[in-house]
Amino acid sequence: MTLSTGEKLGPYEIISKLGAGGMGEVWKARDTRLDRFVAVKVLPAHIVERADLRQRFEREARVVASLNHPHICVLFDIGTHEGADFMVMECLEGETLAERIGKGAIPLEQALAIAAQIADALDRAHSAGVTHRDVKPGNIMLTRDGVKVLDFGLATLIERDEAGDADATVAAAAPLTEVGAVLGTAAYMSPEQARGQRLDARTDIFSLGVVLYQMIAGTLPFRGVNALDVISSILQKEPAPLTPQVAGVPRELERLLGRHCARIASNATRRPESC
């Protein structure tokens, strides 16, 4: 569906395009009923007929709607207009963490404060049985009021077994991809995600560690000329220590962002709290 300024999706009047990604285009719009600005995410026309992607879009809406947290983007509405599915979220002013990192490394204290807010949002999601699966700077907004985590489009709903064992989780619904399929962004993938294995909250912990490393160092811990090289680096290499690159990095933080935590986060027999 092609949108233009002034066009309406129900009560939402389109103003301008904010961006686009694999799961849809995002537009700034005005809610004519409540007279407020919102962000409208529209499923691309070329994938509307794909049941799996449409299901993922609908699941994103349910996931976001189930989470109520100051550092998670608020979902206002969901609807369909002329065959196009869309969801309506709060319109955020600020910049993505990716844009901020593009300007250079972030001072240690500020980076830790940002990471703490991301971790708080993820903890809320994990407590509700939701794994984000695509934690990366492009999905994190820095606003005047703090961090906002965006786009749970790749999220998987999980539930504890009857015994309440956090490590024995099963899909709450049929998986949106076949076992072995790889979703997410290569540079921020956990080892188990890169291998196409089943995931739980620990994959987000690993990705958050990558994001924190990148904020502090101004560069990614795992690199390569293409996605396969990056995945190989994640599976086989140890990140370069932060200490020679950045002054004043605490030893404990260096340990947490090193291979020790990477091994624990990807170990299906251990709990994420071990990090």
Secondary-structure percent of the chain, ordered helix, strand, coil, rounded to 5: 35, 25, 40
Mean pLDDT, the chain, rounded, equals 80
> From its phi and psi, is residue 10 left (phi > 0), alpha (psi between -120 and 50) or beta?
left
Q: Which CATH class is domain 94-274?
A: mainly alpha
**Residue 80 reports pLDDT greater than 90:** no
* Residue with the larger pLDDT of the pair 46 and 4: 4
Q: Does domain 8-90 have CATH number 3.80.10.10?
A: no
Amino acid in position 94: G
User: What pTM did the predictor assign?
Assistant: 0.81
Contacts of 80 (CB under 8 A, 6+ apart): 86
From the number of C-beta atoms within 10 Å of its C-beta (0-12, 13-18, 19+), residue 163 rates as exposed
Lookup result for tokens 């694999």:
22
The catalytic position among 77, 85, 123, 134 is: 134
The residues with which 8 forms a beta bridge, in sequence order, are: 13
Name which of 4, 40, 1, 44 is nearest 21 in CA terms. Answer: 44
Beta strands across the sheet bearing 84-90? 8-9, 12-21, 24-31, 36-42, 84-90, 75-81
The question of whether 134 is a catalytic residue gets the answer: yes
Q: Domain residue spans in the chain?
A: 8-90, 94-274
Q: 175: number of CA atoms within 13 Å, CB side?
A: 15
What's the CA gap between 35 and 4, in Å, rounded? 19
Q: Are 38 and 18 in contact (CB under 8 A)?
A: no
Residue 253 has pLDDT above 80, yes or no: yes
Name the phi and psi angles at 259, rounded to 5.
Answer: -65, -25
Tell me the Ramachandran region of residue 139: left when phi exceeds 0, alpha when psi lies from -120 to 50, beta otherwise.
alpha
CB 85 within 8 A of CB 48: yes
Q: For the segment 112-151, what is each residue's pLDDT rounded down to a tens digit?
A: 999 999 999 999 999 988 889 889 999 999 999 999 999 8
**pLDDT above 90 for 29:** yes
Residue 169 has pLDDT above 50, yes or no: no
Contact present, 227 and 235 (Cβ < 8 Å): no
